[in-house]
Amino acid sequence: MSITTLSAPGSEYGPCLDPCGHIDCQEIRHIAQSPCVICFLTIGYDCEITMLEDGSFAHAICAESALEKAGK
Ligand SMILES: [Zn+2]
Ligand SMILES: [Zn+2]
């Protein structure tokens, strides 16, 4: 399970503050605005997230507790 953190817009590694056409920025914004597949809150910035096997994203803590419940 690879864990990553989305940097906030305007920060050193984050996307541009204003809407822009950069592929990287658009991708980060898209992930940040999509819902966690486990708790359904938006992924957001500056928190640990993980990509699940099906390519969807979840908060790292949500994924961990889901795995625990599954007995893995
Ligand atoms: Zn940009
Ligand atoms: Zn979550």
What local confidence, expressed as pLDDT, does residue 71 receive?
83
Q: Residue 6: is its pLDDT beyond 90?
A: yes
- Ligand approaching nearest to the C-alpha of 19: 1
What local confidence, expressed as pLDDT, does residue 52 receive?
93
CB atoms within 10 A of CB 10: 10
Residues 56, 60, 64, 67: what is their CA dihedral angle, to the nearest 10 degrees?
Answer: 0
pTM of the entire structure? 0.85
Q: Residue 11: is its pLDDT beyond 70?
A: yes
pLDDT tens figures, 25-70: 999 999 999 999 999 999 999 999 999 989 999 999 999 999 899 8
Task: Give distance in angstroms: CA of 30 to centre of ligand 2.
Answer: 16
User: Which residues, by Cβ under 5 Å, contact ligand 1, an ion?
Assistant: 16, 20, 22, 25
